[in-house]
Chain A
Amino acid sequence: MQKICDICKKNVAAIHIEKHAGENHTQMKICCQCAGIEALSPENLKSEDLQKIIADLAFLQKPSEPEVCSECGTTTVDFDKSKRVGCGACYDNLKASLNLHLYPNVIQNKHLGKTPFKLGFEPIQKEEVDELQVLEAKLTSLITDEEYETAAKVRDQIAELKKALS
């Protein structure tokens, strides 16, 4: 049985939307015309169109201007496509859209590994980052924020580290 559009009650519905908010579940079926993509029939509806519709409907679409890196001209749109930055300055200029914390390689947003030399063979004065201190600071702030579950994990990390050091 074909479903009829809830808005015009005339055409065949192509899009089915379910909204779950707590106890309330609402359903809606709409056709392409009512969804504002009249030129498209359900058969050749592309997934990009669908994403746009869903974003529009859910008010998720962010109309913000794309950021541009002043050094190399890479925009956030370029980055979304290639997942690569154009130069080192992008890390500062496009900081917000890189969302570094979302990457699985990132444990914490602070480099702890080796540091390079300055030209002329002088090693850069290494900012001494003690892993233990970092973790202890993190633990304190987590306890203040009452994030006990995460804090317990950090506590175990500290114990492990102390064990490894001794």
Chain B
Amino acid sequence: MNSFFKNLASRSMPWLCLSGPSSPIVLSTKMSLARNIAGQLYPDKLDELAGLDVLEDIFEVSESLPDYERLNSYELNTLNEIEKDLLLERSHITHNSVFSGIAGVIIDEEEYFSVLVNDEDHMKIQVMRPGLELHKSWKYLTYVDDIFGKKLKYDFSNDYGYLTASPEHVGTGLKCEVLLDLTGLYLSGQINGLVQSARVFGYELQASENQDNRKPQGRYILSTVKTLGVKEEKIISSFKSFINDVIDAETRSRVKLMADSSHRIQNLVSRAYGTLKYNFMLDEGEAFDLLLTLRLGLQLGLFENLNFKQVEDALTCSGNAHLQSVMQELLSTEDLNKTRASMVRKKIGLAD
């Protein structure tokens, strides 16, 4: 395993675990642009030879990006299972790309920026930031897009804009996504109303899923849907004002919850704390749920001997690939769960 992956395994995702504007309700911002190269078939239809050509072209152009020396480029089929899992867990690549023979990824040292090559489209340029940073992300994204766009001829039509493999992204190819912690709205039963109103405004709000398809309570992804017939800046500014409304609603519901039924939250948080302290086997999804609940307790000031960083560290280190790469071997599920339990205890200072 090379030093980049060792680094990756040894630390938590900076864009998820550091604090940013509007955190901790907005955990992270993710923004991506889908682009295709004119005159080439789309990755679904590409044969291996042409696919690797596209990959090579894109890797070559990436050399003219600023801070090129901080970028790492990999063809996915040259990576081993643990390395691929590691990238998948941190959502730099998708399940689909793992099995494709022609996919590749360009990723910067700090994981704030990546380009996924030959997944659904030829390129998915992605920026990830902690907290709510829509405008800054867009500025960087469009800057990088222009650098690629000057050397590669994008597939573009005057009517439909940037053409993509799925008509769902055609137009700007832009997708904005924020990860939200809406525990307050979730516990007070207001979340379904919010899902509805998001839909009315043309956004999508859904419970985030982790690796084993379990939905951690209170963690939601809000994303934009519209791409054709609207300007990028407009998409971003209206999205931002909607997010601000959501943040207000969540803050209010947390205050109300603490005032009216603090015992409910205390019960939830204390149980999570107890389970984390006294367990010897912990599966991935459960660890995620419990640690998030613990973090909510922290936000509401229910703990004095814990800090956010400890919990966030524990969160990212509890993934299967992380455990395996730290242990340098493939572990059985039982061993994984045992290692995870002790690792999490150690990280949040509960070990004896």
Contacts and interface: CB of A to CB of B under 8 A. Distances in A.
**Physical interaction between A and B:** yes
Interface of A: 71-74, 82-88, 91-92, 98, 100, 103-119, 121, 127, 131
Contacts of A103: 167-168, 228
Contact of B157 (A74, A87, A88): A88
Contacts of B167: 83, 85, 98, 100, 103, 105
B273 interface: no
Which 4 pairs across A and B sit closest by C-beta, in order of nearness? A111-B161, A107-B229, A108-B229, A88-B155
B232 interface: yes
A162 B344 CA distance: 55
Interface of B: 36, 38, 40-42, 44-45, 120, 142, 145-146, 149-151, 153-163, 165-172, 174, 202, 225-232
Main secondary structure of the interface of A (DSSP, over half): loop
A109 B158 CA distance: 10
Given A111-B157, A111-B171, A131-B231, 8 more contacts: A84-B42, A87-B42, A91-B157, A105-B168, A106-B228, A111-B162, A113-B172, A117-B149
B41 A111 contact: no
Contact of B165 (A85, A92, A107, A112): A85
A91 B45 contact: no
A110 B231 CA distance: 11
Scoring B36, B159, B166, B167 by chain A CB atoms within 10 A of each residue's CB, the highest score goes to B167
B225 A88 contact: no
B226 A107 contact: yes
A38 to B, nearest CB: 39
A18 B227 CA distance: 40
Given A111-B159, A116-B156, A86 B44 contact: yes
B229 A91 contact: no
Nearest to A100: B167
Contacts, number: 119
Contact of A110 (B149, B166, B229): B229
Given A84-B165, A105-B168, A110 B159 contact: yes
Given A88-B38, A113-B172, A100 B160 contact: yes
Contact of B171 (A104, A105, A116, A127): A105
A91 B166 CA distance: 10
A46 B146 CA distance: 51
Contact of A116 (B42, B149, B159, B168): B149
A140 to B, nearest CB: 18
Nearest to A98: B167
B229 A109 contact: yes
A82 B165 CA distance: 10
A81 B169 CA distance: 18
A82 B43 CA distance: 13
Given A107-B229, A115-B156, A87 B45 contact: yes
Given A84-B42, A108-B229, A91 B168 contact: no
A106 B229 contact: yes
A109 B150 contact: no
Contacts of B157: 88, 91-92, 111
Nearest to A115: B156
B160 A113 contact: no
A74 B45 contact: yes
B163 A112 contact: no
A73 B40 CA distance: 13
Contacts of B154: 116
Contact of A84 (B142, B153, B166, B172): B166
Nearest to A114: B232
Contacts of B159: 109-111
Contact of B44 (A84, A117, A119): A84
A142 to B, nearest CB: 16
A91 B230 contact: no
A83 B169 CA distance: 12
B171 A113 contact: yes
Contacts of A116: 149, 153-154, 156, 162
Nearest to A85: B165
Contacts of B166: 83-85
Contact of A86 (B45, B174, B231): B45
